[in-house]
Structure 1
């Protein structure tokens, strides 16, 4: 018990502010690498769940769930075209207004447009 009180007393907060030591310059690099760009986009989850529910209730008869199958196929084809369009724009570095996630090429385009001078 006595040892614990001694250890806790040694960990008292610092009384004066700790000075900041700059070890590297505080500025952005002029480009970004694309190593960590693993995108796992998920589309048509709702349509897939509706399709599986229909198949389960109808004992996996595809004739009775043709409407749900058609909706899922439409959603999947539209997501493929949207993904291809986005990949083309990302490869060219074209900026998409309102996009929340940018690729490394798009970020590099932004950094070239607005360079950081320090």
Structure 2
């Protein structure tokens, strides 16, 4: 799905914090869509997928339904990290961070992963 519509839906469900929609325009989400390479999910080992599912991806812990892909997680963490940067430069930072994390050039900072959620307790 388009990232903007996904974020709107997740905010409505109470899974993501509303600040994502306050901080970024629909046009900026469209630009971020162009950064996402969903095929990168296919490069993960089974253990990495299970770790993402168990610790980081937003999901319903009762039913096991997962609400986001690893690539959405990575781009949204980047968006949260750089939301207070100047509008004219922040998407460049978002893209560079997303590319670095999603290609394993840097490891994801575990303490930053739940930034897109209202509270980490809902994970």
TM-score (norm 1): 0.27
Higher helix share: 2
Larger Rg: 1
TM-score (norm 2): 0.26
